[in-house]
Amino acid sequence: MAKLRVGYPDTMDPELLRYFPAEVELVCIPAEPTEPIAIDFWIPPPFSPIAKVWPWLRGVRVAQSQLAGVDGYRAIVGADVIICDAMGVHSIPTAEWVVSAMMSVYRRIPLFENLRQAHDWRARKQANEHYRAITHDLRPHIPPVLQEELAGKRVMIVGYGSIGKAIEQRLLSFEVETIRIARTARPAEKVYSTASLREFLPQVDAVVLIVPLTAETQGLIGAEELALMKQGALLVNAARGAVVQTAALVDALNAGCIRAAVDVTDPEPIPEDHPLWDCPNLLITPHVAASTPEFGRRCVQLAAEQVRRFAAGELLLNIVTGDY
């Protein structure tokens, strides 16, 4: 009986191949193949277009993504290939990024880092000025407000899957109140549907986006949704850039209505002359939330378990159906 042929990207650390079952045949797939390659199980490269590789592959029955999102996969591989995402693999680093980003904004870490580089702590009064400007809180505070607390905030998590749950777990330790939103309501878990999004927007201090990009979620947050948010509320996007309408986000930030912390943008990467670069009240990172030293190991461990299941005729994990 022929061995199960497993194709893996040439960027994968060879040391990690030990996780795969010994009875399968591992096939290294170059970034730009020059001849047809026959495999049964494909692990696409995580950070390069799969469209460059796919035309050279033959016999693929399963495509196991190393990413939580698989937007665009179905259009490339077709209806006959089982697509599995990497749900669960990126929960820890992404959840940590979300909490870190929120704390950085509330604690004004970027401002204080700028003052450090300027060798001038006297300008720290800017923190109080920023607080008053964005929150419209003009009450006298002694001492002046230099930082804000996460404790006591009400946070809406839009996308209550494995990453959303990991985010909530960490936020609860900061004594926040959470509201759970998903594409489909799950009353038993106190999860509301996205149809309730606008109802809750005026009630929360922060909105965390961690939904997959689908036809339903593309442009989910636009001008109307941003206008419903509290003055100075924080929008955190760790999902996909296109979940937020960029032009509306730029307008809301420039108007001083909200704050934002984003790891993803639309377009991505951001062109050098894009107005998003210069928006106030914005913390931005270049899609690095899941990029930690543990990324590769966790991805390969999931893929190896999927290979074992497939070879044994067992049900695969994280099978993507429908639009997502």
**Which residues are marked as active site?**
240, 268, 287
Q: Please, are residues 246 and 218 in contact by the beta-carbon 8 Å criterion? A: no
DSSP 108: T
Unique residue bearing structure tokens 């996205």: 194
Tokens of 154: 């009400």
User: CA torsion, points 186, 189, 195, 201, in degrees to nearest 10?
Assistant: -170
SS3 category, 278? helix
- Report the C-alpha gap between 210 and 173 in whole angstroms: 19
Q: Which residues pair with 138 in a beta bridge?
A: none
Residue 228: count of CB within 10 angstroms of its CB: 16
C-alpha of 13 from chain center: 24
